[in-house]
Amino acid sequence: MDTREEPIRVMLAKIGLDGHDRGVKVVARTLRDAGMEVIYTGLHRSPEQVLDAAVQEDVDVLGVSLLSGAHMPIFTRIFQLIDEMPERPRFAIIAGGVMPDEDVDALTAMGVSAVLGQDTAPDTIVERIRDVSAPVREA
């Protein structure tokens, strides 16, 4: 019965003391215009809140936007919480914002599916999200 193309569901989250949300709002619009359903959490969330919300919304992709420089501790905490979950959530996790190149390998090793820096073109963002969501949606 699943013949219709179901919209990709994406949660975009801002975690911690980072009040810069212009970028994430632009991304939200870009994804909406690409036909995706975007759930935005708003500012200053905790990793716990964001993971709970992403589970409830049953999203395909969780995008965390960070411009505060706190990406290493925050992603460490996110994956620590995921390890503690009774059942591993199905969504892919991507990082967006300002992250130095030298941290990308470490983030990938933790389990981040894609790191999209602040200079990523909108089309590329859409494409990468389609890529990372494809295996998740089949699972």
Partner 1 sequence: MTAPKEIVDAVLEGRNQAVARMLTFVERRSDGVDDALAVLHRAAGSAHVLGLTGPPGSGKSTLVSALARHYRSQGRTVGVLAVDPSSVFSGGAILGDRIRMSDHGDDAGVFIRSVATRGALGGLSRACLDAITVLDAAGTDVVILETVGVGQAEVDVISAAQTVAVVSVPGMGDDVQAIKAGLLEVADVHVVNKADRDGASRTVAELREMLRLSHRTAGQWNVPIHQTVAANGDGVADLAAVFAAHLDWMTEHGERERRARRNAATRIRWVAEELVLDELRPGVAAFDHALDEVTAHRTDPLSAARQLVGR
How far is it, in rounded angstroms, from Cα 120 to Cα 122?
6
| CA-wise closest residue to 138 among 78, 79, 86, 92 | 92
Candidate residues 1, 83, 84, 102; the one interacting with partner 1 per rule CB under 8 A: 1
Q: How far is the CB of 52 from partner 1 (least distance, A)?
A: 6
> How many chain residues are in contact with partner 1, going by CB under 8 A?
34
How far is it, in rounded angstroms, from Cα 71 to Cα 111?
13
Residues 4-63 that bind partner 1 (CB under 8 A): 6-7, 28-29, 31-42, 45-46, 48-50, 52-53, 55-58
| Contact present, 14 and 62 (Cβ < 8 Å) | no
Q: Point out which residues bind partner 1 (CB under 8 A).
A: 1-2, 6-7, 28-29, 31-42, 45-46, 48-50, 52-53, 55-58, 86-87, 89, 138-139
